Structure 1
Amino acid sequence: MGLATSFLMGNGSPTTQMVNLITGSLFSSFVEKDTNTFPEFHTAFLDIYNTFNSALPGKHYDVPSNQEVEDCFVKWKEAENEAKKKQVFVEFIKESVNLNKPQKVTLITGLVTPPAAMVAKKAGERVPALKIIKVIPDVLFVPTVTFLALISVQVSRNVFHRRMVHRDQQRDQQNT
């Protein structure tokens, strides 16, 4: 599945038959679902991305925004026959299947935290109140600190992103 979806992203040079086979199977599984209303249509698209993301560990694809899916739904409803609906679906899948790339902050945190954790542990061993830190093996301490640092970076980025989106929505409402 990972190889097939990488062809959709344009990283390979698949034959037209390969792309048609992949998108055809996705389309047939998509059409089997009830897609008469936008929530049903959106749920069907989310199911496709769930299939992409659960196919192989480590491969995760960004889900298109609600507005993009809604625009596709409008085009879908306007299409008068099955062939046009398939064309709308295939174009949308080709445009919207994007590999999720890790942020630079996450990569930097993952690289900087292990040495910093070792330095902090060595410094903490000299503090009388933190003598218990000597008991924790480095093999457990460093990955735990790194994992907690990565989680805190992701949580803080998500909180910051939500605040920015909320602020932009408020600004848009004030302007209208």
Structure 2
Amino acid sequence: MGLAFSAFGLPGWSSIPTGQVYDQYFKDKKTDSFEAFHVAYVEFCKDFNTVLPGQDFDTPSLEKIQKFYDDTWKLINEDQEKKKAFMDYIRDNVKEAAVDDSLFIMAGLAAPAGAIVLKRTGQSIPQLKRLDLLPNVLFVPLFTLAAIMGATAVQMKQRSRHT
């Protein structure tokens, strides 16, 4: 059936043999054009990132995928060789996304104090007087959660800009 994904250093995938992954996404699909291969590859990557919640994997650029297709995939006719070449490519080129936790830590530490300052400022600014309707017990956690979600959005936008 093939090697287990744990051999690639991907935790949680040890029960899914790579042979099954290859068979599901590539074996029975027509991948004789780059467009068809790329659709299968994108489907693989989408499922790959959704199976492990909280973990993301950076995939290679379109140029690298095109190069793999032209230099390797297109030249191989035997299914077993394609499977081995694809799994070698995935092992070498798909890396776990690096996450900078400092942004989340700073947002988590600064948000509660910011929430209290905002609420006190709201007592003297008419547009923010409505914040007094929410008790601190609800307002501070909600504000902190919103700050962490904002930090996540900023980090995702920066990552998508770099790829």
Question: TM-score normalized by structure 1?
Answer: 0.68
User: Quick check: 2:123–2:129 contact (8 Å CA) kept in 1?
Assistant: yes
Structure holding more helix per residue: 1
Q: 1:87 to 1:157 in 2, by over 3 A?
A: closer
Partner of 2:107: 110
Say which of 37, 56, 61 aligns to 1:60. Answer: 56
User: Quick check: 2:112–2:144 contact (8 Å CA) kept in 1?
Assistant: no
Q: 1:149 to 1:96 in 2, by over 3 A?
A: same
Q: 1:58 to 1:104 in 2, by over 3 A?
A: closer
Cα RMSD (Å): 3.3
Query: Greater relative contact order (Cα 8 A, min sep 6): structure 1 or 2?
Result: 1
SS of corresponding position for 1:71: helix
Query: Number of residue pairs matched?
Result: 155
Partner of 2:67: 71
Q: 1:140 to 1:99 in 2, by over 3 A?
A: farther
Measure how far apart 1:11 and its partner are: 5.8
User: Quick check: 1:8–1:97 contact (8 Å CA) kept in 2?
Assistant: no
CA–CA distance in 2 between the matches of 1:156 and 1:60? 13
Measure how far apart 1:28 and its partner are: 1.0
Q: 1:83 to 1:64 in 2, by over 3 A?
A: same
Measure how far apart 1:104 and its partner are: 4.1
Q: 1:135 to 1:108 in 2, by over 3 A?
A: same
CA–CA distance in 2 between the matches of 1:146 and 1:33? 47
CA displacement 1:58-103 (0-9 Å, x = unmatched): 2322222112211221210122422321221110121233222323
Measure how far apart 1:116 and its partner are: 3.3
Say which of 91, 95, 98 aligns to 1:98. Answer: 95
SS of corresponding position for 1:107: helix
CA–CA distance in 2 between the matches of 1:119 and 1:133? 10
Identify the range of structure 1 (140-149 vs 76-85) with the bigger mean alpha-carbon deviation. 140-149
SS of corresponding position for 2:17: helix
User: Quick check: 2:45–2:59 contact (8 Å CA) kept in 1?
Assistant: yes
Structure 2 stretches lacking a partner, 5+ long: none
Measure how far apart 1:25 and its partner are: 0.9
CA–CA distance in 1 between the matches of 2:158 and 2:9? 33
CA–CA distance in 2 between the matches of 1:90 and 1:157? 27
Structure 1 stretches lacking a partner, 5+ long: 166-176
CA displacement 1:127-163 (0-9 Å, x = unmatched): 242332111233543344345444554348737974x
